[in-house]
């Protein structure tokens, strides 16, 4: 393994250890006189949980079995709740110091269990809401006007499915549900701009098999996302092709007069490489050109190449508050929705699946129905 992944893993684990220590410290400070056995039990459980996600994540890249899959699910579930328990712990201390400053009671120490109880219950309920919200898939209906659109495509519909993250959390059952929802919309064509898979070890053909039943008249088109490129993308591309999808690897196709192109995630991150690829496609700006590009970035290059509409995912809209604030700082208004960059239109989807914690707070999972005009 190269040095930088090891450094990254160590940094993440240090952050997780500090977060769990902070939870333990807050628990010890805000609950009245915990017994020695109770303290020891909490310390052991939190220490095990602190290592659970990295251990499960590393194991999931090598193995897929009856031990690794539930371990991964439990670890990612805890990671989601940890996020909100951590913020609850921060608020405990802020509330406590405000309580002292305002002199709200004669016995301020006695208020500590109440403060912690209210905030940690709120954190628990937020996590439960996130679990439910992540499974309620919304249908977003968008009308897109494309200059140079062939008359044959006016009024036709496309389904956009992004960031399914099929793997240990979102399994074949989730894929069947997504296919059934997409089929009900009766699309003429389907676009999948990356992260069909989560990047972990899995029975890829079993996960993607439901897509064999999705047969729009003009086909299903796919380009790789970052999760298909954690290692070699060949196995993931082969699986989607066996399921009947067309992988667009730095190429352009013309489908009944509509130009559809795709670039893999790795090439899209390099300005020089992306420019060379798009220039090689010789897109005509006077015609409608749709690009599958997993991440909503390098937009000046895409616009100058003559692309009419870029379809992206990747951001998840931030997936979990408060990380949606961070995502907005990185991608700005292109974090979500239909936006314009000069002559280029960009639709960034929040995606249908989840990565890591199977939760969504502050964002909503979606399947997008595009109607061309």
Instruction: Place 250 in a pLDDT band, splitting at 50, 70 and 90.
Output: very high
The interaxial angle of helices 36-60 and 68-102, nearest 10 deg, is 130
Instruction: Place 107 in a pLDDT band, splitting at 50, 70 and 90.
Output: confident
Instruction: Place 4 in a pLDDT band, splitting at 50, 70 and 90.
Output: confident
pLDDT exceeds cutoff 70 at 328: yes
Q: Say what percent of the chain tops pLDDT 90.
A: 89
pLDDT exceeds cutoff 90 at 172: yes
> What number is the average pLDDT over the span 257-267?
97
Question: For residues 269 and 295, is the Cβ–Cβ distance under 8 A?
Answer: yes
The strand order across the sheet containing 246-247 reads 138-144, 366-372, 157-160, 189-192, 220-222, 246-247
**Which of 140, 154, 141, 147 shows the shortest CA–CA distance to 342?**
147
| pLDDT per position as a tens digit, 15-72 | 999 999 999 999 999 987 777 888 899 999 999 999 999 999 999 999 999 999 999 9
Per-residue burial over 146-169, b if 16 or more Cβ lie within 10 Å, else e, is beebbeebeebbbbbbbbbbbbbb
| pLDDT per position as a tens digit, 215-233 | 999 999 999 999 999 888 9
pLDDT exceeds cutoff 70 at 1: no
Question: For residues 285 and 304, is the Cβ–Cβ distance under 8 A?
Answer: no
Chain mean position to CA 185: 23
Chain mean position to CA 208: 18
DSSP state of 296: S
Q: Given this model, what pLDDT does residue 144 score?
A: 98
pLDDT exceeds cutoff 90 at 109: no
Q: Given this model, what pLDDT does residue 37 score?
A: 85
> What number is the average pLDDT over the span 323-338?
96
Provide CB contacts within 8 A for 329, sequence distance 6+. none
For the chain, list the domains and their CATH numbers.
3-133 (no CATH), 139-372 (3.60.21.10)
pLDDT exceeds cutoff 60 at 326: yes
| pLDDT per position as a tens digit, 346-369 | 999 999 999 999 999 999 999 999
For residue 144, report the phi and psi dihedrals to the nearest 5 degrees.
Answer: -120, 125
Q: Say what percent of the chain tops pLDDT 70.
A: 99
Q: Given this model, what pLDDT does residue 103 score?
A: 80
Question: For residues 236 and 206, is the Cβ–Cβ distance under 8 A?
Answer: no
Alpha-carbon span 41 to 54, nearest angstrom: 22
Burial of 32 (0-12, 13-18, 19+ CB in 10 A): exposed
pLDDT exceeds cutoff 80 at 73: yes
Instruction: Place 2 in a pLDDT band, splitting at 50, 70 and 90.
Output: low
Q: Given this model, what pLDDT does residue 254 score?
A: 97
């Amino acid at each position: 393994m190269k040095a930088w992944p090891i450094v990254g893993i160590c940094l993440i684990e240090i952050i997780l250890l500090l977060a769990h220590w902070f939870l333990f410290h807050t628990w010890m400070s805000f609950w009245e006189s915990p017994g020695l056995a109770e303290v020891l039990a909490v310390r052991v459980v939190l220490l095990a949980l602190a290592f659970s996600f990295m251990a499960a994540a590393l194991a999931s890249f090598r193995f897929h079995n009856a031990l690794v899959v539930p371990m991964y699910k439990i670890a990612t579930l805890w990671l989601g709740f940890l996020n909100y328990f951590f913020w609850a712990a921060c608020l405990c201390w802020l509330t406590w110091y405000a309580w002292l400053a305002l002199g709200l009671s004669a016995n301020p120490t006695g208020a500590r269990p109440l403060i912690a109880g209210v905030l940690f219950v709120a954190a628990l309920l937020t996590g439960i809401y996130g679990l439910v919200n992540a499974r309620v898939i919304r249908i977003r209906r968008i009308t897109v006007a494309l200059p140079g659109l062939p008359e044959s495509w006016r009024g036709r519909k496309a389904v956009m499915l992004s960031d399914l993250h099929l793997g240990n959390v979102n399994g074949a059952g989730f894929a069947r549900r997504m296919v059934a929802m997409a089929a009900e919309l009766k699309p003429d064509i389907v676009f999948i701009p990356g992260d069909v898979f989560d990047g972990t070890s899995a029975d890829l053909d079993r996960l993607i098999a439901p897509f064999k039943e999705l047969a729009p008249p003009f086909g299903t088109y796919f380009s790789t996302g970052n999760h298909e490129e954690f290692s070699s993308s060949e196995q993931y591309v082969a699986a989607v092709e066996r399921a009947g999808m067309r992988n667009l690897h730095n190429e352009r196709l013309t489908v009944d007069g509509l130009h559809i192109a795709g670039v893999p995630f790795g090439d899209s991150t390099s300005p020089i490489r992306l420019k060379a690829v798009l220039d090689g496609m010789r897109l005509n700006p006077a015609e409608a050109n749709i690009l599958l590009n997993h991440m909503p970035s390098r937009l000046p290059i895409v616009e100058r190449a003559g692309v009419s509409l870029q379809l992206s995912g990747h951001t998840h809209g931030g997936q979990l508050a408060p990380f949606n604030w961070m995502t907005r700082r990185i991608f700005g208004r292109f974090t979500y929705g239909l936006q314009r960059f000069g002559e280029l239109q960009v639709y960034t989807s929040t995606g249908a699946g989840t990565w890591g914690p199977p939760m969504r707070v502050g964002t909503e999972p979606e399947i997008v129905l595009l109607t061309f005009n």
